Amino acid sequence: MSVSDPFHLAVQVRDIDEARRFYGDFLGCPEGRSSESWVDFNLYGHQFVCHLNPALMEAPAASHKNPVDGHGVPVPHFGVVLEMPAWEALAQKLRDNDVAFEIAPYIRFKGEPGEQATMFFYDPSGNALEFKAFKNRDEQLFKKG
């Protein structure tokens, strides 16, 4: 996927090789430049960088959660808005590989403006990720409820 104005996001990880396995090997994000302390990935057309912070705890840190549609949404979080078939394929891949969901894949705001498929899970360093999709992304992405 290519976007006209890609975002740049940098997060902390506890282990660069672990980040390579998760984002590169498992999620399939192509790797770009890197050093011993950081690595760039192409996250669906966006520049995503993992910076080493070996001081991170072994267990993912608990994040704050805000109530949304009856679920506790981890804050902060990041992710990508996918086309529905890509979202469904990713959700199945995560299920097939026994990824622990913070919020399992489901349809949020069903029947309302902004109806969307969403799921939340954590990377090995405790960064919360949300991937979502809309039936008609161009009409629904920024629709007010």
145 vs 134: CA distance, rounded Å: 15
Quote the CA–CA distance of 115 and 69 in Å, as a whole number: 11
How do residues 21-65 score in pLDDT, each as one tens digit?
Answer: 999 999 999 999 999 999 999 999 999 999 999 888 665 566 789
Contact, 101 vs 119, CB < 8 A? yes
Q: How many Cα atoms within 13 Å fall on the side-chain side of residue 38?
A: 11
pTM of the model: 0.89
Measured distance CA(82)–CA(32) in Å, rounded: 21
- Show the domains of the chain with their CATH numbers: 8-52 (3.10.180.10), 64-140 (3.10.180.10)
**pLDDT tens string 63-121:** 789 999 899 999 999 999 999 999 999 999 999 999 999 999 999 998 887 889 999 99
At residue 129, the pLDDT reads 97
Contact 94, 104 (CB under 8 A): no
Contact 102, 122 (CB under 8 A): yes
Q: What mean pLDDT is predicted for residues 6-12?
A: 95
